[in-house]
Structure 1
Amino acid sequence: MDVTATFQLTPREFRSALRNLPVLRRMRVLAVLIALVGGIVTATGGHDGWTPLGTGLVLLVFGELGVVRLGTRRSAPLIANPWTVRLTDGCYQLETNATTAKVGWSLYREVSEHGGFWYLHQTNRAVSFLPKQAFPEHDAARVAAFFAARLPKLPRPWYRRVLLLG
């Protein structure tokens, strides 16, 4: 396989990609659970519920403002120009105005899909993302089949499924 796509992300698309990063999705679930526990404790008459309620809400706001919005602002020079992605049988290559990276598939452990993006999970826990819309329909189907064959979705431990953590 040898597929190349050139695309330019809008700030809105970039924010969407950041919001759907697995670590931020987990942080949102955790923040909601903490706030929910605090709300229940407060509603049942406990005065100690304000701390977890406030902590959960602060985590939600920090995730959006501190990570997503600030990350988009800091990445503005990076997303101001087109990105070129090349997927071959041997590697994933990304070229932007700021950097060029070429990474072999042996350094990736799985690919997940969420919110119109493919998220490529590296063995060191770093995550790259690709917008599905960057590829023409016939290439997108080839890429999806390649990902399914090359980087199958890993089984999750039971507790992650129960806690909706991916």
Structure 2
Amino acid sequence: GLLGPYGSLRLVTIDTEAPSENFGALERKDREILDIASCLEPFTQRYFGFEMSTRSSGYLLEAGAGTEMPPTEFTAKECLKWLNIFQWQRFMCIYFMGPEPGTLELQPFDDVSGGHTLNVRPGMWVLLRSDVLGHRFASGNSYTLSSFFLQMNSDAELRRKQANFRPPQSA
């Protein structure tokens, strides 16, 4: 998912598609995420085995100890949007804005690998494989800006063929 229960108290979507003559600091950092995705994209097929097609919107996440506010209920349209993101996500780019430092816990989705904890501080960037690593952020009052880099949807069939998956036999 996002950054766990303490790293995702509240979420705001950053709309960089909206026309604006002067971007603020948040929009400039969101543009840096786009630059990172553009630099990574030419290498994903060769080194990771998939084509990267796009990125999600930028998300400003608030971290902290908790809130008394009940969780937001999603509409069916919002659920489908997040389902699509979580299905096709391959990388998560995170910018730690602060003001407080925190820890980012990384845990591979397997039964044998151990986890790792990163101490993060304001101004730090992390790029992680969100499809193979569970990730949780814990901090005092802090904010992150993040975006998911998504696999091209149309190459899933090609990847199945390359992995020698055979269709089920008719009886």
Q: TM-score, normalised by structure 2?
A: 0.25
By percentage of residues, which structure has more strand? 2
By percentage of residues, which structure has more helix? 1
Whichever of the two has the greater Rg, that structure is 1
Q: TM-score, normalised by structure 1?
A: 0.25
